[in-house]
Structures are given as structure tokens and as C-alpha cells.
């Protein structure tokens, strides 16, 4: 194999405690070895760029990605073909290179830290969850931090003049086959066009012999019945889309009206024409206008550049929502129009009267025309106030489309080098995001075959978020979409529309605006997941109840004890759990303040949440222990409670217990104060310098707690890595240091699944799971307040 390129590593990254390699190889198998860890795969990711470089002789599926926890020792890439192994050493990240990378991040880090200082101080002093959420957002640690504000004028009525009834349009309709859709497309033009119109049809010598005779009859009958002018141009031979359109444009220019280029698989809705032409009449220098659609590239709903299909009638109901939008709201300048249904200003058509025939039979020609118009000051407008269904690819044959795209994209890139960057900029900032979100919700309502789920969720991650992600995936598979109303971000409310195509997101402080966006939804399933981090949590129950309409279902999930107390872990102000607090408790941890500074007592808090729980059709708890604790505060809701334990997010295999000379206590998961950060820090100090046991934290710890030298802090991990980490750190026993009664505890179940001994304090769902497992053992919760030595003694005493 000497002298021939058989593979390439495109990217080596070290992030989150993991080493990742991305590249391609012509080998049968590739392996990555990092210290004691090994990962292996068959190159199978599509890489058409590699095939092109190799003259088309290489398979397209030669890409690979390999990922392992970072560890000391050699980093090796092994490529195997048959009996031949080729070993390559992967260049490591030396201390100097790592330091340089960190230094490059410092300016941005210090700027973010300065902005976040007030929230950080509030978190340090008061452990305020809202301050923590704001701190995460300010520091850029929130994955969804770049969220657009929902346009507050989205539904405001506009008083600008509408097109005069005297304003006529010329519609150009090129036709090639697609006979099954042709009748409906034409009937919709006649029935739904609300301006004076004439129609120029170009029949491009369809292979379907039904098309031309039908058009002749239809043109004659329509002219008689409606009085509209219908010009039928019949090509003697198949000219393709561009030349067909140019024939029609020549005709249209003589009429002098604005033109609409309409595909024969575009199904226009009621009152479409006046809306489409309006921006040309009310704004200066508008060359084209394109509506929203299910298949119109950057004007797609629900997700930009993601095509979807619709059932009959769904597009009309989505358009009914579009009609209620302010016609000026989210009206956006775009880098191009899309020719499936595109209004063209006659003034710009006079300057550029034809599409460029250099694009063959079609695709990309409207981009070229739009760039020429753009070059003389013409603007291309995306119109959110109109939704037109496009049964894409039927007009001129889907089989040809891919080839045409490849050929014609190269022409566009050569002529207009900045065009692709302009498109990416539009996608990145999406100036139509508010309207796209509103129409996405309407789309979700149309696609739903069962009550549409609307979740109230927090922004703090963790087990509740993992469970929510699973629920959303299930909703999408069964019902096409799910909605999430999230609290704890930069604005009070963050609306998310989840579908198989992706997620649409917007944020606002205006709850009434959100309820207006939700109006199109049919039957709902309103689900409280978690509200921790909201700026006015005592009002959350009323907001949720307002979303529930007659016949809707309401479900409450008990991921923590927020419905019981503002201290969602039920710990008192000194951080100690003493059971469910009495409603008369004066402990500051169990009271809160609203945005106006008014204090909310625990009794008032429960009065608000009692109404939500009483109205719930189902209250889902994840352990018997959490059921009992909830009933202590609300005994009247017993009949509505269902115990439904979680299942693990991924399987964790059993491992052979290591046998090091010194026992190694492993703590799994991220440690906040209620998760036992203080207990872990005390154990770390106690074990420092001794040889009785070693301590390893597989996860992260609240930064206000220091670990002593000698304690290993692994950081972020993946479930799939746990067996390798047990072997690497020689962990002999797991300890769950949580000091609050957890409602389930994923980490406890993950630790138990490994087969190693698992120890926890005797409280909460964690103890419920440990007591039921053959490898589990509980120790008295009272030890948490004693010396670290007593905790370590109890963990290591396996005779108990």
C-alpha cells in the first residue's frame, strides 16, 4: 500500500474529556486505542468528496468517527484490511498546545464572566436557581442560548393599503405531465384568485397523452365561464422548464401586469393573490415575493430547508393561520426567491425579460434571475402571511432533479461567489423565525392524530430533561410533533416546536402571545415536567390550568418536589433534609418571593399547586417513596397518582469487579449540594494522603466545593464509557452521596446495573432501588451529618 493514499484524518478533537477522530479510510476496519481503551468501526459514512477525488473509483461510504474517553498513554489509529494492519500514532495535545487553546478563549470568557457577575454572586450567596439559570445563559453554556425574541407585532393588525381590485396579475403555469395534480391546481387558481387575472399555460409536450387534450378543453371552458383570458401555448417539442417559461414571459410582458410564476404542483389557497402581490405594491424595490410552504427551501415550514408532505386540506388550514398574521410582521429580505409560486415585479422583468437557458431544462434559473435583479437594487421578499402547498418535484420529474442540482449549482457558485454565504447567513439568523414558529405550531396541530403534547419544562438539564427528551421522541414517532414551553431562560417563556425535521424555538415574556400561537392546536395533553428556575413559580399552576381547555388532558410529572415546596429537594435553609415541611413552616428555604418582592408563604404556595394537582388526570411519580412524600402534603390526590418507574436511558453492562490492592470508591454523576457535594468533599479530605481507600468522581462537582489532592475528577462521561472507566480507575464500590429523597435517581440504577456493590444513604428513591438489588446496601442517613470517617467506614464495611 506504500505510496497510495488510503485514508485521511480530517479532525482530531479533545473536548468534554473525550478524544474524537473524524476521517475516511479505504480499509476494512479502523480502530482507535487510547491508553487502556479501544474502539473499532467499519468505515461507512457517506463521503462523496473522497469518491470524487479518487476519480469515482472509491466507494462513497468510507467515512468514520471514533470516540473514546481521553487517557494517558499512546493514542493509536489502526487500519486493517485482510491480514494487514497499519498502525499510526495520533498526535497528542501537549501542555503547550492545550494552554494556547485555553488562552485564545480567555478574552471571550472574561467578557462573559463580567456580564454574568451579578447572577454569579447571587448564586453563590443564596443558591438561587433562577440566578443559576441566568448565569448559565450569560456564560454561553446553554445549548439553546441564541434564541430569537418572538415578534410582539406578529398578530397586530396592519392598516397599510391593500391591492386595488383593479390591479391585475398574469399567472404563468408551465405544464409537463403531473396530470393527477393538474386539475386541482387549475381549479384552485380559478376558485381562489382574488384579483383580476389572466393565465398563460405552456404545455411542454408531456409524455402523458391526457394532458394536452385536457388543457385545450379546460382553457376553452374556463374562458367561457369566467371571462378570464387563458392563453394556451403548446410546444411542438419538449423545451424544458426554462424555455417554456421564457415563451410565457414574452407573452406576459406585453400585458404589462405583475407576473406570478406558478408550478403545476403548487396548490394555492383562498385569497392568495392579493397577499402575494401586496409587498410589491406597498414597498419599494421589491423584485420578487415568495410565500411559505412545505417545500420551498428557505421558506419551508416547519424547518428551514426541510421538505415535508401534507395530507389534503392541511395546507389550507395552515394558511388560515398565516392569514391572521400581521402582513408586515417578519416580512423578510431573502437572498433569492423560489420559483414554485413567485410574484415577479414587471419593472424588473422589463430589465431582465428571460431566464437563462444555460441552466438546461431547469433548476437554479430563478436564483440566477434573482441575483441579476439584486445586482440592480431589487429585493426578494419572503412572505409569512401566505402558505402554499407544493407537491415538490412532480412538475419536471424528481429523477432528474439531483443531476440538475449538481450541474447548475456549479454555475451559480461561479457567477455569484457570495450567494451561498448569503443563504447560510439567512439560515443562521432566520429573520422569519417568529412566523415560522407560529406556522410550525399550526403544522404540528394538523399532523397530530392524537392530543398534542404541550410540556412545561425547566432549563437545568439532568434526569428530568433526559426523560423529557425520551417522551418527545415518542410523541414525534406516534404523533409527528410535540411542543415545549420552557422556563428559566433569558426570557420567561421559551416556546419550542419539536418534529422529526428538528426544533423551532422562540422566546418572550408575553404569555398572551404564546396562547395566541397555540390557538390552532386541537385536543391537547398539557404536561407539567418541571418548573424549577422560573422567575415567578407560584403563578405556574394558573398558567398551566389556562392552557387546559374542556376535554384536554392534564398530567403532572414528579421529577422533584417543587409542587410541595419552593425548596424542590425539600432541604431546609441549612441544607439538611428533615422530612416534608409543615405548611406552617417559616424556614426561608420553603418560602419564595414574586417578581414584585412580595413573599409567598409555604401555605400560599401549596394552595396554588393544590389546584393544579386536583385538576390533573394523572400524577406520575417514579417511586413508591415519592408517592408517600407527595401524599404527606396532599393526601386528597391519592386516586390520581400512578407509580411508573423510569427505565434506563441506555443499557449498562455488568462488569467484573476489579481487585486493586487499595479499595477505590467511585461516585457516579454530577454533584450539586443536594446531590452530596459536601459529603464527597469531606470524604476527599479524609482520604487524602492515606492508603485506606482512593476516591474517584465520575462526573463533575459544584465548583464551590474543593476536592483534595489525590481525588480523581473525571468530568463529563457517557453511559457507554462506564465499563471502561471502571477498569481504568479500578473502581470497586459505588457510593451515591445524595442527601435528599430523590424521586428516581438514574445514576443509582446505572451503578446497580454494573454489578458492583452500591452504597447510599437510607432515604428516597435511591434507597428504595438499592434495597431491592442484590448488590445494594444502605447506610444510616444520620451519618451524612457526622464525620467523613464514619461515612467511609460504613461504605467499606461490607459485612453490613
Domain boundary among 429, 444, 479: 429
Q: What is the largest CA-CA distance in the chain?
A: 100
**How many structural domains comprise the chain?**
4
Residue 227 maps to a domain = yes
Q: Are 681 and 705 in contact (CB under 8 A)?
A: yes
Residue 142 maps to a domain = no
| 449 and 425 both lie in a single domain | no
| Residue 42 CB-half CA count within 13 A | 5
List, in sequence order, every residue forming a beta bridge with 404; answer none if it has no partner.
Answer: none
| 698 and 742 both lie in a single domain | yes
| 255 and 333 both lie in a single domain | yes
Q: Are 364 and 351 in contact (CB under 8 A)?
A: no
Domain boundary among 93, 108, 133: 93
What CATH number is attached to the domain comprising 549?
3.40.50
Tell me how crowded residue 631 is: count the other CB atoms within 10 A of its CB.
15
| 609 and 728 both lie in a single domain | no
Burial of 459 (0-12, 13-18, 19+ CB in 10 A): buried
Q: Tell me the pLDDT tens digit for each residue of 301-349.
A: 999 999 999 999 999 999 999 999 999 999 999 999 999 999 999 999 9
| 522 and 572 both lie in a single domain | yes
Residue 54 maps to a domain = yes
Residue 246 maps to a domain = yes
| 414 and 443 both lie in a single domain | no
Q: What averages of pLDDT result for each successive group of 10 residues across the chain (800 residues)?
A: 66 76 86 78 71 48 79 82 84 69 74 73 58 60 66 78 71 95 97 97 96 97 94 96 96 96 97 97 97 96 94 97 94 96 98 94 89 97 98 56 77 93 92 97 97 96 92 97 95 96 95 97 97 95 98 97 97 95 96 90 97 98 97 98 89 93 96 95 94 95 92 92 95 97 95 97 97 96 92 87
According to the model, what pLDDT value does residue 59 have?
Answer: 56
Q: Are 356 and 370 in contact (CB under 8 A)?
A: no
Q: Are 707 and 697 in contact (CB under 8 A)?
A: yes
Residue 672 maps to a domain = yes
How far is the C-alpha of 98 from the C-alpha of 91, rounded, in Å? 13
How far is the C-alpha of 117 from the C-alpha of 125, rounded, in Å? 12
Residue 122 maps to a domain = no
How far is the C-alpha of 187 from the C-alpha of 182, rounded, in Å? 9
Residue 671 maps to a domain = yes
Query: 336-373 burial, b if ≥16 CB within 10 A, otherwise e?
Result: bbbbbbbbbbbebbeebebbbeebbbbbbbbbbbbbbb
| 386 and 492 both lie in a single domain | no
| 422 and 474 both lie in a single domain | no
| 276 and 176 both lie in a single domain | yes
What CATH number is attached to the domain comprising 30?
2.60.40.10
| 347 and 237 both lie in a single domain | yes
According to the model, what pLDDT value does residue 84 have?
Answer: 83
| 468 and 360 both lie in a single domain | no
Nearest to 443 by CA among 488, 502, 378: 502
Tell me the residue range of the domain where 57 lies: 7-93
Q: Which residue has the cell 410550525?
A: 440
Query: 523-562 burial, b if ≥16 CB within 10 A, otherwise e?
Result: ebbbbbbbbbbbebbbbbbebbbebbeeebebbbbbbbbb
| 377 and 454 both lie in a single domain | no
Q: Are 235 and 203 in contact (CB under 8 A)?
A: yes
Q: What is the pTM of this model?
A: 0.82
Strand-by-strand arrangement of the 493-499 sheet? 502-508, 493-499, 481-486, 452-457, 524-528, 553-557, 618-621, 641-643
Domain boundary among 365, 397, 429: 429
Residue 103 maps to a domain = no
What CATH number is attached to the domain comprising 408?
3.90.550.10
Amino acid at each position: 500500500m506504500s505510496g497510495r493514499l488510503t485514508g485521511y484524518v480530517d479532525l482530531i478533537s479533545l473536548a468534554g474529556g473525550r478524544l474524537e477522530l473524524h476521517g475516511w479510510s479505504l480499509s476494512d476496519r479502523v480502530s482507535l486505542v487510547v491508553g487502556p481503551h479501544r474502539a473499532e468501526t467499519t468505515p461507512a459514512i457517506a463521503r462523496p468528496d473522497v469518491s470524487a477525488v479518487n476519480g469515482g473509483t472509491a466507494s462513497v461510504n468510507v467515512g468514520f468517527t471514533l470516540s473514546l474517553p481521553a487517557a494517558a498513554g499512546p493514542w493509536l489509529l489502526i487500519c486493517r484490511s485482510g491480514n494487514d494492519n497499519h498502525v499510526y500514532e495520533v498526535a497528542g495535545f501537549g501542555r503547550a498546545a492545550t494552554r494556547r487553546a485555553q488562552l485564545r478563549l480567555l478574552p471571550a470568557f472574561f467578557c462573559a464572566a463580567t456580564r454574568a457577575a451579578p447572577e454569579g454572586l447571587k448564586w453563590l450567596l443564596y443558591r438561587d436557581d433562577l440566578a443559576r439559570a441566568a448565569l448559565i445563559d450569560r456564560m454561553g453554556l446553554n445549548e439553546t442560548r441564541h434564541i430569537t425574541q418572538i415578534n410582539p407585532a406578529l398578530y397586530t393588525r396592519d392598516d397599510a393599503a391593500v391591492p386595488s381590485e383593479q390591479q391585475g396579475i398574469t399567472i404563468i403555469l408551465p405544464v409537463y405531465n403531473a396530470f393527477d395534480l393538474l386539475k386541482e391546481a387549475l381549479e384552485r387558481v380559478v376558485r381562489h384568485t382574488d384579483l383580476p387575472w389572466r393565465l398563460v399555460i405552456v404545455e411542454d409536450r408531456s409524455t402523458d397523452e391526457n394532458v394536452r387534450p385536457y388543457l385545450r378543453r379546460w382553457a376553452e371552458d374556463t374562458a367561457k365561464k369566467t371571462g378570464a383570458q387563458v392563453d394556451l401555448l403548446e410546444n411542438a417539442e419538449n423545451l424544458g422548464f426554462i424555455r417554456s417559461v421564457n415563451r410565457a414571459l414574452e407573452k406576459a410582458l406585453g400585458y404589462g401586469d405583475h407576473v406570478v410564476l406558478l408550478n403545476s404542483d403548487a396548490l394555492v389557497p383562498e385569497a392568495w393573490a392579493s397577499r402575494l402581490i401586496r409587498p410589491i405594491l406597498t414597498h419599494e424595490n421589491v423584485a420578487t415575493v415568495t410565500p411559505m410552504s412545505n417545500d420551498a427551501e428557505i421558506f419551508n415550514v416547519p424547518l428551514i430547508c426541510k421538505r415535508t408532505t401534507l395530507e389534503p386540506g392541511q395546507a389550507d388550514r395552515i394558511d388560515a393561520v398565516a392569514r391572521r398574521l400581521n402582513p408586515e410582521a417578519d416580512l423578510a429580505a431573502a437572498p433569492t426567491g423560489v420559483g414554485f409560486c413567485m410574484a415577479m415585479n414587471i419593472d424588473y422583468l422589463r430589465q431582465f425579460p428571460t431566464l437563462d437557458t444555460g441552466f438546461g431544462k431547469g433548476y437554479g434559473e430563478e436564483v440566477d434571475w434573482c441575483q441579476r435583479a439584486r445586482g440592480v437594487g431589487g429585493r426578494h421578499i419572503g412572505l409569512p402571511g401566505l402558505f402554499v402547498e407544493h407537491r415538490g418535484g412532480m412538475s419536471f420529474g424528481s429523477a432528474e432533479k439531483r443531476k440538475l442540482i449538481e450541474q447548475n449549482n456549479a454555475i451559480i457558485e461561479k457567477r455569484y461567489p457570495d450567494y451561498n454565504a448569503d443563504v447560510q447567513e439567512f439560515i443562521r439568523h432566520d429573520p422569519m423565525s417568529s412566523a415560522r414558529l407560529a406556522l410550525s405550531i399550526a403544522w404540528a396541530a394538523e399532523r397530530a392524530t392524537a392530543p398534542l403534547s404541550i410540556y412545561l419544562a425547566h432549563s437545568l438539564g439532568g434526569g428530568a430533561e433526559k426523560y423529557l427528551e425520551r417522551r418527545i421522541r415518542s410523541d414525534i414517532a406516534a404523533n409527528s410533533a410535540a411542543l415545549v414551553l420552557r422556563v428559566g431562560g433569558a426570557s420567561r417563556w421559551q416556546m419550542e416546536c419539536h418534529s422529526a425535521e428538528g426544533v423551532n424555538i422562540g422566546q418572550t415574556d408575553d404569555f398572551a402571545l404564546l396562547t395566541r400561537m397555540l390557538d390552532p392546536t386541537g385536543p391537547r395533553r398539557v404536561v407539567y415536567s418541571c418548573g424549577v428556575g422560573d422567575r415567578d413559580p407560584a403563578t405556574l399552576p394558573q398558567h398551566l390550568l389556562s392552557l387546559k381547555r374542556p376535554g384536554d388532558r392534564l398530567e403532572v410529572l414528579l421529577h422533584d418536589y417543587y409542587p410541595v415546596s419552593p425548596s424542590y429537594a425539600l432541604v431546609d435553609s441549612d441544607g439538611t433534609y428533615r422530612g416534608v415541611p409543615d405548611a406552617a413552616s417559616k424556614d426561608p428555604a420553603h418560602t419564595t418571593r414574586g417578581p414584585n418582592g412580595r413573599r409567598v408563604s409555604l401555605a400560599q404556595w401549596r394552595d396554588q399547586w393544590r389546584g393544579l394537582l386536583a385538576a390533573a388526570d394523572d400524577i406520575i411519580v417514579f417511586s413508591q417513596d415519592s408517592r408517600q412524600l407527595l401524599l404527606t402534603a396532599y393526601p386528597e390526590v391519592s386516586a390520581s397518582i400512578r407509580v411508573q418507574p423510569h427505565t434506563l436511558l441506555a443499557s449498562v453492562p455488568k462488569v467484573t469487579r476489579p481487585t486493586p490492592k487499595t479499595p477505590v470508591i467511585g461516585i457516579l454523576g454530577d454533584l450539586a449540594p443536594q446531590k452530596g457535594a459536601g459529603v464527597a468533599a469531606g470524604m476527599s479530605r479524609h482520604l487524602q494522603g492515606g492508603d485506606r481507600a482512593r476516591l474517584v468522581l465520575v462526573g463533575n462537582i459544584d465548583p464551590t466545593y474543593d476536592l483534595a489532592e489525590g481525588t480523581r475528577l473525571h468530568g463529563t462521561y457517557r453511559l457507554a464509557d462506564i465499563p471502561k472507566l471502571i477498569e481504568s480507575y479500578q473502581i470497586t464500590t459505588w457510593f451515591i452521596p445524595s442527601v435528599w429523597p430523590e424521586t428516581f435517581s438514574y445514576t443509582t440504577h446505572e451503578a446497580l446495573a454494573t454489578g458492583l456493590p452500591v452504597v447510599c444513604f437510607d432515604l428516597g428513591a435511591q434507597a428504595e432501588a438499592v434495597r431491592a438489588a442484590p448488590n445494594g446496601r444502605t447506610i444510616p442517613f444520620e451519618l451524612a451529618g457526622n464525620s467523613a470517617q464514619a461515612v467511609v467506614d460504613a461504605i467499606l464495611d461490607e459485612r453490613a
